[in-house]
Structure 1
Amino acid sequence: MTIIRQESFFSIQELYDMAPTQKYAAIIAGIDLDMIYHAVMKQSRFGAPESVNHPATITAYLIRFVERIPTIKDLVRRLKNDIAFRMDCGFRVDDPVPSEATFSRLTTKLSDTDILEQAQASVIRQATDEGFISDGTVAIDATHVEARDQAPTEKATKPKPAPKKRGRKSKDERDQWLKAEAEKAANLPLYEKPIAAQLDAPLGDLRDDVPQDPKWGIKKNSEGKNVFWYGYKAHLAVGAASQYILQSLFSGGQLNDGKAAIPLLKGLEERLSLPNLRYQTMDAGYDYTPIYTQVHQMGQQSVIAYNRRNEPEPDGFNQHFAPTCVREHAYRYDSFDTQYETLKYTQPKECKDCPLVNEGVCQKVWKIKITKDLRRYTTPARGSKAWKTIFKRRTSVERVNAYLKEYFQLNNVRYRTGQRAKVHFDTVALIYNASKLAADRINAQLNAQNIA
């Protein structure tokens, strides 16, 4: 009897079930601790000497998320009472245990730099170089993160607007009003402008101008009812196959999901090298023309659920914008011409027995350029089997969102300001990617041993 040797699959859960020493070493091995250490260490040799073991302190700060320790106070208590845990974090026997204030200063130093984003990019580069990331599809979505602090109850008193002058404005008054409105719109913050304004904005400005303070957010639950929460949003771009967090963005809860898509897309294009990437898939909350335009400029295809917004169906087309014959049977999607960016549709099956088939009433082939309307005409065509197959890959980002909340304390933000809360989010994303890289490396070793 032939023995079929199955490939090993070593999951993150199995990684977490390992002995602490092996588990910590495997996860921290993918993180460039030297880069983080040089960003937060004392820059001057003058002043009071420091007795803190900074590398071990940084390691303990990161391992807190691995061990799911809820607060810094609990982390300090664990370091004091568990000598084995203290040694696994890299502390020597004679090293003093860092205080809560030391960890607070570390958080402040991390919030003043983008070193955690650089460390996360380093993990992604390692995973790409080692062949663990070769995705053809990226899934983008957001998840809400509640703040620990209660929402402010006091209502800001708004000044009463000046009474409007009755009657029609004169030409001079209207020109002056239009000029004032144009200046007001031009001076709005980047994320209060329409999404189209982000197309020409550089990636650095898009990331620097993200509003991060906790605000009220709104979403629809499974029953279609509005649910409000006070806090933040975590926006992720996840590899559909590898399930690595390729790009991330942290914002206040009031930011529309669609306004985070272009910064994520530009980050994928400018910061990563993914030659196999072809599709960007998102839900109906991202159905905005500028997002389709950005994906098209990247030379990729959008697979985004259509949000009709009370728009009537166009005459001669079905709900998926495929052309229809005289008897309203939809034409079948056939292929896509990459050179001319044209969708090809062929006659429906029902037309074979149609008495009008030889009358020349219906044409045999339809060709539509996707640039006619990037939102309506996508490749694969909407409603096709290929489109539905790719759209199903979007669930990968929902799965990662659940992992981050369930196992990596994403929903345990305990900071009052958005800047420090972002440190928590960046650390969660970093630890998740490092854990994923560690699991993939162990899995590759097991497969190599099985082959040998």
Structure 2
Amino acid sequence: MTIIRQPSLFGIQELYDMEPTQKYEAIISAIDLDRIYHAINKKSRLGAPVELNYAGMIISFFIRYIERIPTIKDLIKRLNDDFIFKMNCGFLVSDSTPSEAAYSRLVTKLSESDILEKSFESVTLAAVTEGFIVDEVIAIDATHFEARDKAPAKKEEKSETTPKKRGRKSKEEREQYLKDQAEKEANLPLYEKKIEAQLDVPLDILRAEVPMNPKWGVKKNADGKNEYWFGYKAHLAVGASSQYILQSLFSSGSLNDGKAAIALLKGMDQRLPLTSASYQTLDAGYDFEPIYEQIHRMGQQSVIAYNKRNEGEMIGFDKNFAPTCFREHSYKYDSFDPKYETLKYTRPKECSDCPLANEGICQKVYKIKITTDLRRYTAPARGSKAWKNIFKQRTAVERVNAYLKEFYQLNNVRYRTGKRAKVHFDMVALIYNASKLAADRIQAELIQQQQAHNFCF
């Protein structure tokens, strides 16, 4: 009898336990370093000659995140003290160790280019092409991280000199007021407008106009109390099963989570061939009609926690918007017809022996089109077992947020401006996805070797 040996699971932890040379090679090979080198290399022959090994600088800059080296100063010290580490970073014996100022200039060049975003998309696309991303459910959420500097002192607002007129406005005053408000709304920056203003805006503009300067942010903690911080937010769309970051967005800490969702959704729809994706799951902070509309335009389904917002109860429906019978028993969700976008509900089991059932007062079946109200009617239906199982998978993005903070130094922002802090965020997301891809490639190779071994026997 042939003994079949099961291949062991190879993940990021096993990857990071490898020897440094093998580990660096596996992770860095997933990134197109030539593309980054050409993007930041000096283009002109004029000026002072370039004496630094830029290729080694780029590799060492990446390895700083892999090895969790907290500062550039510590990186330089490691390069000076550890000869083998310096060789692993791509420096030659004759190369001098770059200074802090040289690394600062490297960060400046990276901040003036979108090469890190393009490299991130390239790594993610490679994972899709190689079959490592086949997620049916995608989870979206945001996490905060603090800026390096403390918040500046708040400026005192000047009181208005002209007192407001009290009482009801006249018809002419109200019309003028509405006109002024509409004009004010039209002149606001894109991310200060209502979320529906983003629906028809191109993706490039959505990403270009995201506010990036550190600001005060507020979020309710597990105890229901407001938690304040000064800094930034990382907005992520993560594959629920693969746990790859599919899209990422960096913003000021004051940006509402919901206002970053459409940029993430459009990014997945336009830049990644995610043919397996069917569901987008988000928490109650994303319960806005334009987000449901964007997901519907993508041909996918929304599994978003409902935020009641002081809305009145619907007569004839329960809290999950399922129809109820005359005695207020909820109809049971049965199925969804994708062709007609219709939810089917069947008669409650309590109605089996109800005398009203035979009198035609209660229907046997209810059918409701989700387009009647995309926010209330989702597929699968709210409250159903299928809906709950999909929503549970939203924890994948929370796990990735924790990984980025604990193992990839997301919290360790060393730059004062938002533009340079974005380089830090882009590096963290890129290294994480490159590590995932490297681990999956090694796992696939091990499985292939195991299959070949079993075939020989």
- What TM-score bracket applies, with the shorter chain setting the length? over 0.9
1:412 Cα deviation from its structure 2 partner = 0.4
1:408, 1:444 → 2: CA distance?
A: 24
2:174, 2:385 → 1: CA distance?
A: 53
Larger mean CA deviation between 395-404 and 175-184 belongs to 175-184
Tell me what 1:145 maps to: 145
1:322-337 equivalences under 5 Å are 322-337=322-337
2:52, 2:156 → 1: CA distance?
A: 45
Q: Which runs of 5+ in 2 are unaligned?
A: 453-457
Tell me what 2:268 maps to: 268
1:96, 1:69 → 2: CA distance?
A: 20
Query: TM-score normalised to the size of structure 2?
Result: 0.96
Larger mean CA deviation between 355-364 and 296-305 belongs to 355-364
1:338 Cα deviation from its structure 2 partner = 1.1
1:325, 1:347 → 2: CA distance?
A: 8
Tell me what 2:355 maps to: 355
Q: 1:328-366 CA deviation, whole Å, 9 max, x = no partner?
A: 111111111111111000011111122222111100000
Q: Which amino acid aligns with 2:95?
A: D
Tell me what 1:440 maps to: 440
1:158 Cα deviation from its structure 2 partner = 3.2
Tell me what 2:86 maps to: 86
Q: 1:229-284 CA deviation, whole Å, 9 max, x = no partner?
A: 11110000001111111100011111110001000000011111111111000011
Tell me what 1:246 maps to: 246
1:286, 1:330 → 2: CA distance?
A: 27
1:154 Cα deviation from its structure 2 partner = 3.8
Percent of paired sites with the same residue: 70
2:168, 2:224 → 1: CA distance?
A: 42
Change (3 A) 1:391 1:146: same
1:164-243 equivalences under 5 Å are 164-166=164-166, 169-243=169-243
1:8 Cα deviation from its structure 2 partner = 2.4
Q: Which amino acid aligns with 1:398?
A: E
1:18, 1:407 → 2: CA distance?
A: 16
Tell me what 2:311 maps to: 311
1:323-402 equivalences under 5 Å are 323-402=323-402
1:202 Cα deviation from its structure 2 partner = 1.0
1:125 Cα deviation from its structure 2 partner = 1.4
1:166, 1:309 → 2: CA distance?
A: 29
1:134 Cα deviation from its structure 2 partner = 1.2
1:313 Cα deviation from its structure 2 partner = 2.1
Give aligned pairs, total: 452
2:176, 2:355 → 1: CA distance?
A: 64
SS in 1 for 2:277: coil
2:361, 2:235 → 1: CA distance?
A: 50
Q: 1:126-149 CA deviation, whole Å, 9 max, x = no partner?
A: 111111111111100000101121
2:425, 2:266 → 1: CA distance?
A: 20
Change (3 A) 1:293 1:21: same
Tell me what 1:120 maps to: 120
Change (3 A) 1:353 1:130: same
Q: 1:4-45 CA deviation, whole Å, 9 max, x = no partner?
A: 533421110111111100000000000000111011110101
1:176 Cα deviation from its structure 2 partner = 3.4
2:435, 2:114 → 1: CA distance?
A: 21
Q: Which amino acid aligns with 1:134?
A: V
SS in 2 for 1:358: helix
Change (3 A) 1:161 1:418: farther
Larger mean CA deviation between 136-145 and 169-178 belongs to 169-178
Tell me what 1:417 maps to: 417
SS in 2 for 1:126: helix
Change (3 A) 1:389 1:231: same
SS in 2 for 1:78: helix
Query: TM-score normalised to the size of structure 1?
Result: 0.97
Q: Which amino acid aligns with 2:223?
A: E
1:220 Cα deviation from its structure 2 partner = 1.1
Tell me what 1:8 maps to: 8
Change (3 A) 1:32 1:160: same
SS in 2 for 1:281: strand
Q: Which amino acid aligns with 1:356?
A: L
1:171 Cα deviation from its structure 2 partner = 4.7
Alignment of 1:56 onto 2:56: yes
Q: Which amino acid aligns with 1:312?
A: G
1:161 Cα deviation from its structure 2 partner = 5.1
2:276, 2:114 → 1: CA distance?
A: 28
Change (3 A) 1:63 1:195: same
Note the aligned Cα RMSD (angstroms).
1.4
Tell me what 2:101 maps to: 101
Q: Which amino acid aligns with 2:142?
A: A
2:2, 2:77 → 1: CA distance?
A: 56
2:311, 2:301 → 1: CA distance?
A: 23
Change (3 A) 1:348 1:77: same
2:93, 2:213 → 1: CA distance?
A: 41
Alignment of 1:75 onto 2:75: yes
SS in 1 for 2:393: helix
1:102, 1:66 → 2: CA distance?
A: 20
Change (3 A) 1:285 1:169: closer
Q: Which amino acid aligns with 1:379?
A: A
